[in-house]
Chains A and B, each alone.
Chain A
Amino acid sequence: MKLFHQCGHCTKWNLDAFNNGQVGDGLIFSPVHEKRARIEAQPASVRKASFFDPQYYLPNSQKAKLHTYDFFPEVVSTGFSTADFSLVAIESAKLCLEFQAAQQFEKLIIPARYFSQMNPDYTTKQEAYTVVPFLKEASRQKLKKPIYLTLPLTSHMIEHEGYRTDILNWVTSFPEIAGIYLIPDHARQIKQVLSAAFITEMLKLITEIQEANLKVIVGYVNTESLLYLIAGDIDITFGAYENTRIFSIDKFVESDEDRRGPKARIYLSGLLNWLQFSQAKELKASDAKLWARAYSSTTWGDNALKLAVEPAFNQEILYRHYFLSFAEQVDALRPLNQIDRYRKLRGWLKEAIEIDKAIDDIPIDLERHGKGSHLQPWLDAINSYYTNYLKP
């Protein structure tokens, strides 16, 4: 089981946390945020513990940093078009795998295209776009590192049993593949996943993939990733900015201009959620005992709370607190078996529900993203999983 940094803007924070803070087991490099030369300049020790997501999700993306990679579909075909890509697909695969192999990454990733709808030709298109060319090239280059297939799926695809079965039959039909880099895209109104059905189906999907003897990495996940750990020893991710914790195709079209940032938030592990920094301080001032139940102390967090001025969303201090606090939770689950992970998570969720209620009783009316409305659905989802898969 590994915890990977999902890199985005300011990868230096992730690198510093990994190199100097021993937080996380490796990094997932993001070419949309990182020029090729900067990745190549990383020490071998970092590259060997990490891997590279080629991010072919939007093949005609015009993002400048993606264009520093000669294998990116838009670059290799000098202007991507679906009809013509087959002519250069093998060249793209060749260059991309050569790059991944040269960097000595821990594993090799076959990229995938992102489809926002339940496309009936999903598997056929992915095969032609990347899977077959990459597998051919990996075989030709005699690459020995484990090969993972990127699988970006919307919540509709995940929750539709027939569609999911087709996808499972497809991904398990390539004996050369060692694992799946699963990217769930769950459209939502608030920052946490509120759908128990979605979590339940994700747990099912992860279990089914593992039962086929494939490894699983779940990318672009928020704190709900802790729940997925009851499905076994999978790899999960964490990241700084929200767009590393929630998948959105928009980041491949948005400009890199600085925008007005959201209000700063701090991760409170006792609530399994992020609270607006100002409301967190209000809670701290109102009820020290309750605060102690919600907040897991870290140097970064303590320092942030001492600041006279609220930190801006684009400063590292609150993200560094999150890295430590979240990694601590992962470490608490890491040595446990599935049933004990379930029991611990159930305890955390029940405690979080109590804390959330107590905050309401103070009264502090948390804004909608900070409320504990995700907690009961999460509890329902893991209880259902326990009943169906784990109960002796």
Chain B
Amino acid sequence: MLTDSLELRALLRSLLPGLAITSVPNPSGQRVVFFCRFDAHAVGKSEPRQRAIWGNVVLKVSQGIHAAQIAYLQKEIEILNSLNSIHYPKLYWYETFTIDPRTGDMLPCRLFVTIEDRINANPLSAVTSKHRSETQVLAFLDHLVVALQPLWNHAQKLIHRDLKPDNILIKADGTVVIIDLGIVREEGAAGLTATGNLFGPCTALYASPEQARNDKKNITFKSDFFSIGVLAYELIANEHPFGLPTESILAVLERVMNHTPPSLYKRKMATREFSDFVSKLMEKQPYRRQRTLEQLQQDLSSLIKRS
């Protein structure tokens, strides 16, 4: 698996003249991610020429070993380009590298690099303490649902499938930006992972039961509803409903499928209405969750009015 290293950074600088890595965000997924910018003087005439005016960017590097992984990445690019929404980062450029320019040798594994706009915002994981009351969480969920609409309402009925605190950025005005669309799936599409896999691509702690089972035909926008329920529960309870990040993936997924956490109301952490709303989002069977985006929004607005 690709990791951040001096060698990788040196290779990237040789591939992308002028690259200046400024910091590294929390590790996420199978890609190495850098925050960086390009030194205008050092860029010269190399491609991509416009990089000097991009400012702060996010550079993601992956080793496209498997066709499925490359396909996921290409899917992300295709989606980002088609969404054209303030709730998703702008994708500036991407390229596949197969040759080390320093030696002219073939790289042991091809590198896939994307460069996208760096959003001036904090990931939810860094600001959870500001989202502890029902009112705060409802306001956040309202923004989150607005941000996800371009995906769910997309002609191809897209599903994020990996909503989690590190993938949700919150701007100062509360606007939400969704990142890491690497495992977005078109509802009803065959998908890029084998059906026989024990579980589908996901982050176990925020996965829905149908993702945990890799039950592809039932993975719909309502799988994202489940993840939203988990986020809401975790924010209010200040603990995760299905396990700890240190536990094994299988142990967490087993609980996602079979354990129903006590309601927030029973735990005296939320009003009955809010608690019922979250429990409905986290129903094991998709048909028991809010059936449409409109219903989710209606439930949210009546809770917001009440709070």
- Chain A contacts to B: CB under 8 angstroms: 123-124, 127, 132, 165-166, 168-173, 175, 208, 211-214
Contacts and interface: CB of A to CB of B under 8 A. Distances in A.
A212 B292 CA distance: 9
A171 B291 CA distance: 10
B286 A169 contact: yes
B293 interface: yes
A372 B7 CA distance: 85
Interface stretch (B105-113, B214-222, B245-253): B214-222
A22 to B, nearest CB: 35
A175 B294 contact: yes
Interface of B: 187-188, 217-218, 220-222, 285-288, 291-295
A169 B295 CA distance: 16
B293 A172 contact: no
Contacts of B221: 175
A290 B187 CA distance: 60
* Shortest Cβ-Cβ A-B pairs, 10 listed: A175-B292, A168-B287, A172-B287, A173-B220, A212-B291, A169-B286, A169-B287, A169-B218, A172-B291, A213-B291
B217 A165 contact: no
Nearest to A214: B291
A213 B295 contact: yes
Contacts of A175: 221, 291-294
A214 B292 CA distance: 11
Nearest to B222: A173
Contacts, number: 40
Given A124-B217, A213-B291, A214-B291, A172 B286 contact: yes
B263 to A, nearest CB: 18
B288 A211 contact: yes
Chain A binding surface SS class: helix
Contacts of A124: 217
A175 B220 CA distance: 11
Nearest to B153: A175
A170 B216 CA distance: 12
Contacts of B287: 165, 168-169, 171-172, 208, 212
Nearest to A213: B291
Determine which residue in A123, A171, A175 has the highest number of CB atoms from chain B within 10 A of its CB, and name it. A175
B288 A212 contact: yes
A212 B294 CA distance: 13
A123 B217 contact: yes
A123 B286 CA distance: 15
B257 to A, nearest CB: 14
30 contacts: A123-B217, A124-B217, A132-B188, A165-B285, A165-B287, A166-B217, A166-B218, A168-B285, A168-B287, A169-B218, A169-B285, A169-B286, A169-B287, A170-B217, A170-B218, A171-B287, A172-B222, A172-B286, A173-B187, A173-B218, A173-B220, A173-B286, A175-B292, A175-B293, A175-B294, A208-B287, A212-B288, A212-B291, A213-B292, A214-B291
B154 to A, nearest CB: 13
A132 B218 CA distance: 15
A175 B221 CA distance: 10
Contacts of A214: 291
Contacts of A132: 188
Contacts of B222: 172-173
Contacts of B220: 173
Contacts of A211: 288
A235 B220 CA distance: 29
Contacts of A213: 291-292, 295
Nearest to A124: B217
A170 B288 CA distance: 12
Nearest to B295: A213
Contacts of B295: 213
Nearest to A136: B155
A173 B287 CA distance: 8
Given A166-B217, A173-B187, 18 more contacts: A124-B217, A165-B287, A166-B218, A168-B285, A169-B218, A169-B285, A171-B287, A172-B222, A172-B287, A172-B291, A173-B218, A173-B286, A175-B221, A175-B291, A175-B292, A175-B293, A212-B287, A212-B291
With most chain B CB atoms within 10 A of its CB, the pick from A124, A127, A173 is A173
A88 B277 CA distance: 43
A171 to B, nearest CB: 8
A211 B288 CA distance: 8
B85 to A, nearest CB: 20
Most buried by A among B221, B287, B293: B287
A123 B285 CA distance: 16
A281 to B, nearest CB: 50
A168 B286 CA distance: 9
A200 B286 CA distance: 23
Contacts of A165: 285, 287
A124 B190 CA distance: 11
A166 B220 CA distance: 13
A363 B287 CA distance: 52
Nearest to B293: A175
B201 to A, nearest CB: 19
Nearest to A165: B285
Contacts of A171: 287
A151 B220 CA distance: 20
Contacts of B291: 172, 175, 212-214
A284 B293 CA distance: 58
Nearest to A167: B287
A127 B188 contact: yes
B82 to A, nearest CB: 18
A168 B188 CA distance: 16
Nearest to A211: B288
Contacts of A212: 287-288, 291
A110 to B, nearest CB: 15
A259 B286 CA distance: 48
A213 B292 CA distance: 9
A193 to B, nearest CB: 25
A175 B217 CA distance: 16
Most buried by B among A127, A172, A214: A172
